[in-house]
Chain A
Amino acid sequence: MKRGLPFMALSPGIVLVLAGVYGFIAYTFAISMTDSRILPSWNWVGFENYDLLFQLRAWEGSLVNLAIFATLYIGICLALGLLLAIIVDQRIRMEGAFRSIYLYPMALSFIVTGTAWKWFLDPGIGVESVVRSWGWESFSFGWIKDGDLAIYTILIAAIWQTVGFAMALFLAGLRGIDAEMLKAARVDGARGMMLYRRVVIPQLLYTAISVFVILVFNAVRTYDLIVVMTAGGPGRATWLPSVFMYQYTFTRNEMGIGAASAIVMLALILAVLAPYFWWELRGGKERR
Chain B
Amino acid sequence: MPKKTLIAVLACGIGTQAAAQDNAVEVLHWWTSGGEGAALSVLKDALDEEGIAWNDMPVAGGAGTNAMTAVRSRVTAGNPPTAVQLLGYDITDWAEQDALGNLNAVAEAEDWETRIPEAIQEFSRYEGDWVAAPVNVHSTNWVWVSRPIMDEIGVTEAPASWDEFMQIAERVEEAGYMPFGYGGQPWQDAVVFDSIALGVGGQEWYQSAFVDLNPEAIDSDTMVAALERMGEIRAMVDENFSGRDWNLATAMVINNEAAFNIMGDWAKGEFLNAGLTPNEDFYCWRVPGTAEHVVFISDQFAMFDVGEERAPPQERMASLILSEEFQVAFNTVKGSVPSVMGISDAEFDACGQQGMADLAAANANGTLVGSQGLSHTNRAAVKNAFNDAISAYFNGDLSAEDAAAEMAETVAFASR
Question: Which residues of A pack against B, CB within 8 Å?
Answer: 37-40, 52, 55-58, 122-124, 142, 144-145, 147, 230-231, 233-237, 247, 250-254
Contacts and interface: CB of A to CB of B under 8 A. Distances in A.
Given A235-B395, A252-B381, A253-B381, A145 B93 contact: no
A250 B185 contact: no
A145 B380 contact: no
A55 B413 contact: yes
Given A122-B240, A145-B239, A236-B391, A252 B68 contact: no
B243 A145 contact: yes
24 contacts: A38-B93, A38-B94, A40-B76, A55-B413, A58-B388, A142-B239, A142-B240, A145-B243, A233-B184, A233-B186, A233-B243, A233-B391, A234-B243, A234-B395, A235-B394, A235-B395, A236-B388, A237-B397, A251-B380, A251-B384, A253-B379, A253-B380, A253-B381, A254-B381
B397 A236 contact: yes
Given A123-B239, A250-B68, A253-B379, 14 more contacts: A38-B93, A39-B75, A55-B413, A122-B240, A147-B395, A230-B243, A233-B242, A233-B395, A235-B397, A251-B65, A252-B380, A252-B381, A252-B414, A253-B93
Contact of A234 (B65, B96, B242, B381): B242
Contacts of A236: 388, 391-392, 397
B68 A251 contact: yes
A232 to B, nearest CB: 9
Contacts of B65: 250-251
Interface string B83-98: 0000000000110110
Given A145-B240, A254-B381, A233 B69 contact: no
B396 interface: yes
A142 B381 CA distance: 32
A135 B243 CA distance: 27
A-B pairs, top 9 by smallest CB distance, nearest first, are A235-B395, A234-B242, A124-B240, A234-B395, A145-B242, A252-B381, A235-B392, A252-B384, A253-B380
A12 to B, nearest CB: 24
Interface string B208-247: 0000000000000000000000000000000111110000
Contacts of A253: 93, 379-381
Given A236-B391, A253-B381, A39 B240 contact: no
Contacts of A230: 243
A57 B72 CA distance: 27
B98 to A, nearest CB: 10
B237 to A, nearest CB: 11
Nearest to A37: B381
B406 interface: yes
A140 B176 CA distance: 21
Residue of B72, B239, B243, B414 with highest tally of chain A CB at under 10 A? B243
DSSP class of A's interface residues: helix, strand, loop or mixed?
loop
Contact of B395 (A37, A58, A231, A237): A237
Interface string B357-381: 0000000000000000000000111
Contacts of A251: 65, 68, 380, 384
Contacts of B395: 147, 233-235, 237
Contacts of A122: 240
Interface in B148-187: 184-186
B381 to A, nearest CB: 5
A122 B65 CA distance: 25
A39 B97 contact: yes
B243 A235 contact: no
A40 B242 CA distance: 35
Interface in B63-83: 65, 68-69, 72, 75-76
Nearest to A145: B242
A115 B107 CA distance: 47
B411 to A, nearest CB: 12
A147 B384 CA distance: 19
A52 B381 CA distance: 14
Nearest to A232: B186
A284 to B, nearest CB: 42
Nearest to B240: A124
A123 B396 contact: no
B379 to A, nearest CB: 7
Contacts of A124: 240
A245 to B, nearest CB: 13
A231 B381 contact: no
A236 B395 CA distance: 9
A147 B381 CA distance: 24
Interface in B386-416: 388, 391-392, 394-397, 406, 410, 413-414
Nearest to B64: A251
B185 A231 contact: yes
Given A38-B93, A231-B185, A236-B392, A147 B397 contact: yes
B240 A57 contact: no
Contacts of A145: 239-243
Contacts of B241: 145
Contacts of A38: 72, 93-94, 96-97
Contacts of A40: 76
Contacts of A57: 406, 410
B185 A233 contact: yes
Residue of A38, A52, A58, A235 with highest tally of chain B CB at under 10 A? A235
Residue of A145, A234, A236 with highest tally of chain B CB at under 10 A? A234
Contacts of B94: 38
Contacts of A235: 186, 391-392, 394-395, 397
A226 B68 CA distance: 20
B190 to A, nearest CB: 12
A230 B242 CA distance: 9
